Chains A and B, each alone.
Chain A
Amino acid sequence: MEERLDQVEGFKKKVPFSQRISHFFSGLYEIQQFIFRFFKEMFTPPYEFKEIVRQCYHIGYRSLAIITLTGFITGIVFTKQSRPSLSEFGATSWLPSLISIAVIRALAPLITALIAAGKIGSNIGAELGSMKVSEQIDAMEVSGTNPFKYLVVTRVLASTCMLPILMLYAAIIGLMGSYLNVHQNEQTSFISFIHDAFVKISFLDVFASVIKSTVYGFTIGVTGCFLGYRASQGTVGVGKAANSTVVISMFLIFIEEMIIVQIVNAMR
C-alpha cells in the first residue's frame, strides 16, 4: 500500500515551505506577464471585433435569465427581511431608499459578480482548459492565428464590458422585486417608490458600482483565461482550471470589494 501511495502525485514527497513560497511568487509573476500581454495584444491590430461581439452575446445575453431570477429574489427577500426592523421604529417609508442604497451600492455588483464567477468564469476556465489539453490552442497557433488575441483578449474584454451592464440590469430587477413587495404591503405607487428609492442615491454610488463591476469582470475574465490557458494533465486539469477559476475569482472579488469600498468612502 505504501509503495502504491508513493506513486500517487502529492504522496511522493512533501513540498518544502520555501518551495511553496517560491511557487506562489513565480505564479504572481506569470499572472503579471499574462496581464501585460493582454494589454499589449489588446492594442495591437488586427482587432477581433466579431469574436468580441460573439463573446459579449455569450457572456451577457446568456446570463440574463439567471441574473433576472437572482436579482428579483434578492430584491424581494431583502425587502421582506428589512421590514420588521424598520416597522419597529415606524419607518417602513424608508424601505425604498434603504433597499436602493443596499442594492445599488453593494448587492447588485456583488451578486452579479459572484454569479458571473460561477457561470462565466468556470465556463471560460473549462473551455480554454479543454482547448489547451486537446491541443486546439496549438492548432490555432500553427494555422497562423494568434490564439492569445483570439481566445483571451476577446473573453477578457467581453466579461469586462458586460459585467457593468449585467450589474445595472440586476439592480433594476432587484428594485422591481422590492417594489412588488413594498406595493403589496404599503400600497405605494410605482412613481413614489422610484422617487423614494433614488432620492438617496448619488452619481458616485452608481459610478462606483459600475467601476466595481468593471474590475470584477476583468478579474473573472483574466482568472478564467489564465487558469484555462495554462491547464495541463488532461481532463483533471480542465476540472481544476474551472474549479480554481470560481474559487480564486470569488476570493479576489471580496478583496477588491473591500478595497473599493474604502476608496469610495474616502471620496464621499
Chain B
Amino acid sequence: MDPVISIRDLSKSFLDNQVLRGVNLELYAGENLVILGRSGSGKSVLIKIVAGLLKPDQGEVKVLGQHIADLNTKDLQTLRQQIGFSFQGSALYDGMSVRENLEFPLVRNQRNLSRKQVTEAVRQVLSDVGLLQTIDQMPSELSGGQKKRIGIARTLILHPEIMLYDEPTGGIDPITCVELNHLINKVQKQYNTSAIIITHDLTCARMTGNRVGMLLDGKISKLGGFEEIFQTNDERIRGFYNYNFIHQP
C-alpha cells in the first residue's frame, strides 16, 4: 500500500539550531500516527513542512504522491484542500463569527456552491464536532476546548484526506482532552482521514494513535504501537513515559 505521506531524510535548521536531522516517516491511509517529543524538538516544524508552510533544507516530502517542493503556488493550494491543519492555538479568525470562520475556506475553494449548500455544510460539520449552538458566536466568546473543536471543524468542512493536528490537547483540562481525543477518533472513522498527531500528551497518544513515534535529537527514534515504543532501555524515552504517567524522574 502506498503511503499518503512519505518523508525521506528531512532536515531543517533555524540559524545555528538544527531541529530536524534526517527524519524518515510514512503515513498510511486510514491510520493515526502520533509523533511524541519534548517542546522545541521540532514536531510542529515537521508538520508545517508537510503542509508546505516551511521549506526543508534537505530531504523529500511526498503528499498524496506529489513532491511538495516541486509544486507551484497554485498546485500547492489545490493540494492543501486535501490537507486539514488543526493549529496549536486554534488560529480562528478573530474578526469573524464561527459561521464565517467555517464558511471562509468553503466559499473560497468551492465557488459554485449555493448559499443554502454552504449553510448546510457549516451546520453539518458543526454538529459533527458537537458545537452547533455556537454558530453565531465570536471566537472570543468560546472556551479553549470549543476553539479547538471549531478549528478542527473548519478543516473538516473541505473533507480533507489528511489531518495534521498540532498539539490538539495542549492547554486543555483533562476531561476536555479526553473529549478531543474521542473527536479525533470520530473524525478518523467518519471522514476516513489519515492523520499525523503532534503531541507530548501520552493520554492523547494512547487514545488516538494507531502507531506512535518519538522525535528525539531531530530524528524519529522508534515507530510502533504505544506500549511497544516504551519497551526500551533508552532512558530518554522511558523518562518521557515516567514523567507523564508516574511523575518521577
Q: Interface on A for B, CB 8 Å cutoff?
A: 127, 130-131, 134-136, 138-146
Contact = CB atoms under 8 A, between A and B. Distances in A.
A144 B77 contact: yes
Contact of B88 (A135, A142, A143): A135
Given A138-B85, A146-B73, 19 more contacts: A127-B95, A135-B87, A139-B87, A139-B151, A140-B93, A141-B53, A141-B80, A142-B51, A142-B53, A142-B83, A142-B85, A143-B80, A143-B109, A144-B80, A144-B108, A144-B158, A145-B105, A145-B108, A146-B77
A138 B81 contact: no
Nearest to A143: B105
Nearest to B84: A142
A130 B92 CA distance: 12
Contacts of B53: 138, 141-142
Interface string B94-108: 110000000011001
A136 B95 CA distance: 11
Those 7 A-B pairs whose CB atoms lie nearest each other, nearest first: A143-B105, A139-B91, A135-B91, A142-B85, A144-B109, A135-B87, A144-B81
A250 B91 CA distance: 32
B191 to A, nearest CB: 16
A144 B111 CA distance: 13
B91 A134 contact: yes
A135 B83 CA distance: 16
Nearest to A48: B108
Nearest to B164: A142
B66 to A, nearest CB: 15
Contacts of B88: 135
B108 A136 contact: no
Nearest to A135: B91
B155 A143 contact: yes
B94 A130 contact: yes
A140 B91 CA distance: 9
Contacts of B104: 140, 143, 145
A144 B83 CA distance: 9
Interface in B33-53: 48, 51-53
B73 A138 contact: no
A179 B53 CA distance: 57
A136 B85 contact: no
Identify whether the interface residues of A are mostly helix, strand, loop, or mixed. helix
Interface in B193-224: none
23 contacts: A134-B91, A135-B89, A135-B91, A136-B91, A136-B94, A138-B53, A138-B87, A139-B87, A139-B92, A139-B151, A140-B93, A141-B53, A142-B51, A143-B109, A143-B158, A144-B77, A144-B78, A144-B80, A144-B108, A144-B109, A144-B158, A145-B105, A145-B109
B154 interface: yes
Nearest to A150: B108
Contact of B154 (A127, A141, A143): A143
Interface in B7-24: none
A90 B155 CA distance: 74
Nearest to B154: A143
Contacts of B92: 136, 139
A141 to B, nearest CB: 6
Most buried by B among A135, A141, A143: A143
A127 B83 CA distance: 26
Contacts of B77: 144-146
Nearest to B95: A127
B109 to A, nearest CB: 5
Contacts of A131: 93-94
A145 B110 CA distance: 12
Nearest to B93: A136
B61 to A, nearest CB: 14
Most buried by A among B48, B51, B80, B108: B108
A134 B48 CA distance: 15
Interface string B42-86: 000000100111000000000000000000010001101101010
Given A142-B53, A144-B77, A134 B108 contact: no
A12 to B, nearest CB: 14
